[in-house]
């Protein structure tokens, strides 16, 4: 095994210069908080004409060409459930 391989999540705080090891629970919690905050701040219920659109324009997802079909299926389902409309995959580029 490569001795440079990361085995736990790390974070570099705003203004920081060093990476800090954190637990998986803390990483999941911080990610969830940021996704929720961004979704709440950028979610659009209705467009200018009053049509219901229910979309989140503050989050985007780009997949890689080596992702499996199963992974991409789950990503699309997850992102669409959040209202994310900006989805792209490297395989299409």
**pLDDT over 70 at 17, yes or no:** yes
The pLDDT, as a whole number, for residue 2 is 92
The pair of structure tokens assigned to 23 is 């637990």
Q: Is residue 5 part of a domain?
A: no
Q: Is residue 3 part of a domain?
A: no
Which residues form the domain of 53? 10-92
Q: Is residue 45 part of a domain?
A: yes
Domains of the chain: total: 1
Q: Is residue 14 part of a domain?
A: yes
Q: Is residue 2 part of a domain?
A: no
* pLDDT tens-digit map of 22-58: 999 999 999 999 999 999 999 999 999 999 999 999 9
Q: Residue 84 burial (CB < 10 Å; 0-12/13-18/19+)?
A: buried
User: What global pTM score does this model have?
Assistant: 0.79
């Amino acid at each position: 095994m490569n001795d440079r391989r990361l085995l736990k999540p790390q974070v570099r705080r705003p203004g920081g210069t060093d990476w800090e090891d954190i637990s998986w629970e803390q990483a999941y919690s911080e990610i969830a908080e940021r996704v929720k905050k961004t979704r709440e701040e950028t979610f659009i219920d209705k467009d200018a004409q009053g049509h219901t659109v229910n979309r989140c324009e503050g989050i985007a997802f780009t997949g890689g060409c080596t992702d499996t079909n199963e992974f991409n299926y789950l990503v699309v389902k997850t992102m669409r459930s959040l209202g994310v409309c900006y989805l792209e995959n490297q395989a299409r580029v």
